[in-house]
Amino acid sequence: MQRTASVKALQGVVTGIGAVSRVTGRGGSVIGGKVALALDKGALGKLAAGRSLFLVSGTNGKTTTTALLAAALGTAGPVVTNVTGANLKTGLVSALARDLDSAVAVLEVDEAALVQVLAETTATVVVLLNLSRDQLDRYGEVRLAAQKWRTSLGARPEVHVVANCDDPLVVWAAEAAGSVTWVSTGQRWRIDATSCPNCGGRISWTGELWICSCGLARPEPEIGGGGNDVVLGGRTFPVQLQLPGRCNASNAAMAVAAARVAGVDPEAALAAMVGIANVAGRYRQVNLGSASARLLLAKNPAGWNETLDFLAAPPAGVVVAVNARGPDGYDTSWLWDVDFERLAGRPVVAAGERALDVAVRLRYAGVPHEVCADPLVAARRLPPGKVELVANYTAFQTVLAAVRD
């Protein structure tokens, strides 16, 4: 691919600074992008130009869906992607600058950053997964996020959207797009969309169907997922993933739908996804003393409630690691929207910088537990055997950094 001198210069900045940053032990996925953006505000648009650009956004499942979609599109040619989950503009710039040649880019984008990324790039496809409460202190209203998506997609009718028809907030936002592929994901978290994002009225649910008196209703899905198969045009394609849970089957269905827009057929797309065993460290197995721990990320009630569904059966122990730094949200009240009662009957340790908040929540849930701030030490304290180490965003990063060394 032909690249201009300024794009080459951006690549030099990002790779050079990234290398220095890694050598000095600071990680390299964002800092190069930061400097590149400081030197050239239009860096993102320049680096994305000329590529077929797929953006993946939503509250939960962004990183995994991005990895699954990148694998699927990788069957047709080289793909550049932000594999580390750095999903703000700086992370996108860093990822794109490292690979100027790939004609296809699959980028995970923070739900609040999506509007700006859309404005600065010529995206081909936008994948909208779901919207639910997350980082309470920062986002405030999920419907405000939906409103912003809606406005920005309405202004870009040439962008094709792949959207989850089981999430009323996503549907309301995606409706404004020029063209949409609706995918049923079997999403279960509904409490953030009981009042209609369009009119404030009450949405009524009958099974998976939902409708509001203003006319907003669940669109008929073209693709069905969230179970053992992806269903499309009367055909069923079995989903065989190494990644656990209903939520990842949903993510696979969304990725299949997006890959199809690029001409990759579902069978090939799904076959390419089978090889993925972990995503940015999530689902990774590590040995910690006598514990064989699986690292899981859960950062909000919707994500936690999906995670509770696929935890290894008792007597497998569970570490609940919670921090409350900026990327996590400073308010830990969300712990009370998670059904921790379901952890009863297994050994549990409350961990993370906010271990005491977790401990109080577990006490009221009737779940006996120990308290140990360090998640890795906590895992070692559990009885030998299987351990599920579930951490929210920065707690997970801390764990990952520790097991990497």
Positions that interact with another protein (CB under 8 A): 133, 136-137, 140-141, 143-144, 191-192, 194-195, 200, 202, 330-337, 356-357, 359-361, 363-366
Asked if 62 contacts 56 with a C-beta cutoff of 8 angstroms, the reply is yes
- Of 192 and 306, the one with the shorter C-beta distance to another protein is 192
The least CB distance from residue 191 to another protein, in Å, is 5
The least CB distance from residue 322 to another protein, in Å, is 12
The least CB distance from residue 335 to another protein, in Å, is 7
Question: Residue 403: how many CB atoms within 10 A of its CB?
Answer: 16
Distance in angstroms (rounded) separating the CA atoms of residues 37 and 89: 9
DSSP string, 267-286: HHHHHHHTT---BTTBT-EE
Rounded alpha-carbon distances, angstroms, from residue 191 to 51, 89, 175, 196, 301: 38, 30, 21, 11, 10
Distance in angstroms (rounded) separating the CA atoms of residues 158 and 351: 47
- Of 13 and 343, the one with the shorter C-beta distance to another protein is 343
- Of 108 and 166, the one with the shorter C-beta distance to another protein is 166
Both tokens of 293, joined, read 């721990």
- Of 182 and 393, the one with the shorter C-beta distance to another protein is 393
- Of 79 and 203, the one with the shorter C-beta distance to another protein is 203
- Of 155 and 191, the one with the shorter C-beta distance to another protein is 191
Asked if 394 contacts 328 with a C-beta cutoff of 8 angstroms, the reply is yes
- Of 195 and 305, the one with the shorter C-beta distance to another protein is 195
The least CB distance from residue 305 to another protein, in Å, is 13
180 in helix, strand or coil?
strand
| DSSP β-bridge partners for residue 209 | 206
The least CB distance from residue 194 to another protein, in Å, is 4
Asked if 162 contacts 124 with a C-beta cutoff of 8 angstroms, the reply is no
Q: Where are the alpha helices (DSSP H) in 24-88?
A: 31-39, 43-48, 62-73
The least CB distance from residue 97 to another protein, in Å, is 31
Distance in angstroms (rounded) separating the CA atoms of residues 109 and 87: 5
* Beta strand pairing call for 235-238 and 209-211: unpaired
Q: Which one-letter DSSP state was computed for residue 242?
A: S
- Could you tell me the maximum CA-CA distance found in the chain, to the nearest angstrom? 63
- Of 4 and 364, the one with the shorter C-beta distance to another protein is 364
| DSSP β-bridge partners for residue 285 | 294
- Of 83 and 360, the one with the shorter C-beta distance to another protein is 360
DSSP string, 114-141: HHHHHHHS--SEEEE------SHHHH--
The least CB distance from residue 190 to another protein, in Å, is 8
The least CB distance from residue 59 to another protein, in Å, is 14
Both tokens of 364, joined, read 């009221």
The least CB distance from residue 204 to another protein, in Å, is 8
* Beta strand pairing call for 209-211 and 223-224: unpaired
Both tokens of 22, joined, read 């890694």
* Rg of the chain taking only CA atoms, in angstroms: 21
The least CB distance from residue 389 to another protein, in Å, is 22
Both tokens of 385, joined, read 């055997």
- Of 99 and 357, the one with the shorter C-beta distance to another protein is 357
